[in-house]
Amino acid sequence: MNTPSSLTLRRPDDWHVHLRDGAMLAAVIAATARDFSRAIVMPNLKPPVTTAALAAAYRERIRALVPSDCDFTPLMTCYLTDTVDPADLRAGHADGVFTAAKLYPAGATTNSEAGVTELARIARVLETMEAIGMPLLVHGEVVDGAVDVFDREAVFIERVLAPLRGRHPALKIVLEHVTTREGVAFVREAAGPVGATITPHHLLINRNAMFAGGIRPHMYCLPVAKREIHRLALREAACSGDPRFFLGTDSAPHLRSLKEHDCGCAGVFNAPSALACYAQVFAEERALDRLEAFASLNGPAFYGLPPNERRVTLECCEDFATPDLPVDGEAVRVFRPAGALRWRVT
């Protein structure tokens, strides 16, 4: 089959995005709202979104900044801490404020200091979530400094995720931004409701990209990109049509000055280029006929939501430009692959 030069699909959703707050939110929201109908909004603000009241207020700040010609629904998440209140979580879910809750192992990534120190501390919360069908979204890395940074996801699966699956067999779990073949295998083989999001950057780069000719801070995110065998496993999973794998950009903007820094922040900002990047990957894998499942059907099915009725069209181009996004007199670098980006949203 020749690669088509354009492609129309149901509008996708982004099942994992960092929209931030204040000036950064104002700068980045249009990129997500333009290309996605819904998005699961990460709660790792400062301070984190730990209650239904905080989530409802944050949702209003997002809605107020969505461009008027965009039809976009933010889906909110609760940042789990050792002391999160199961009653508030349950009420927030019943009221439609919380769609899911996010587990950050304390210290695993950006603004995760208030995260969970030990799963045993939130056993009642997890029981509640299992009972009400509320998905648990997992940052799947151990924080044990003795574990090599490239092994932290695989070790997390063995030490934390597999036992958790056993203790809560009906809990809906999403292994967010899966980066390893071990992660892919776990999701494929796990009993019960388990899914995974896959980012555009983990499909396009391996760990060499962080060191290409020098240190490349804009290629640094967490979980960090892994070896080529892992990237290939992610591509295979995304393009397989397996309903457990779905689109989640993990778009995570940081100012250039904070990326190009003595201690640069983790995060790749890809919202403006994400759909183009996914299309490029699926075209390279000769799997464009499966892009709609990955981008627009598998996620809603996992979350128990209807797929979007509106459509989006992508078309081939010479090279989709990805200029820096201005923010507050500074700029945020937009992710793009090493060569040309040969797709764009029309």
Query: What token pair was written down for 13?
Result: 């959703």
Q: Is 14 in the site for Zn ion (CB under 5 A)?
A: no
Cα 339-340-345 angle, rounded to 5 deg: 140
Supply the minimum distance, in Å, between the C-beta of residue 112 and ligand DOR: 7
Min separation Cβ 241 and Zn ion, Å: 25
**Sole binder of Zn ion in the list 250, 255, 298, 336 (CB under 5 A):** 250
Return the sign of the alpha-carbon dihedral for residues 182, 188, 192, 197. Answer: positive
Q: Which does 267 bind (CB under 5 to 8 A by kind): ligand DOR, Zn ion, none?
A: ligand DOR
Asked if 342 is part of the footprint of ligand DOR (rule: CB under 6 A), the reply reads no
Closest listed residue to residue 269, CA positions, set 24, 1, 2, 5: 24
Q: Are 305 and 259 in contact (CB under 8 A)?
A: no
Please indicate whether residue 250 is annotated as part of the active site: yes
* 141 sits near Zn ion (criterion: CB under 5 A): no
Among 29, 35, 38, 44, binds ligand DOR (CB under 6 A): 44
* CB of 29 or CB of 291, closer to ligand DOR: 29
Rounded Cα distance between 324 and 256, Å, is 9
* Cis amide leading into 223 (omega within 30): yes
Cβ distance 108 to 222 under 8 Å?
yes
202 in contact with ligand DOR (CB under 6 A): no
Close Cβ partners of 211 (under 8 Å, ≥ 6 residues apart): none
Active-site residue, from 85, 250, 319, 328: 250
Site for ligand DOR in 262-291 (CB under 6 A): 266-267
**Binding residues for Zn ion, per CB under 5 A?**
250
**Catalytic annotation, residues:** 250
**Binding residues for ligand DOR, per CB under 6 A?**
18, 44, 109-110, 139, 221-222, 252, 266-267
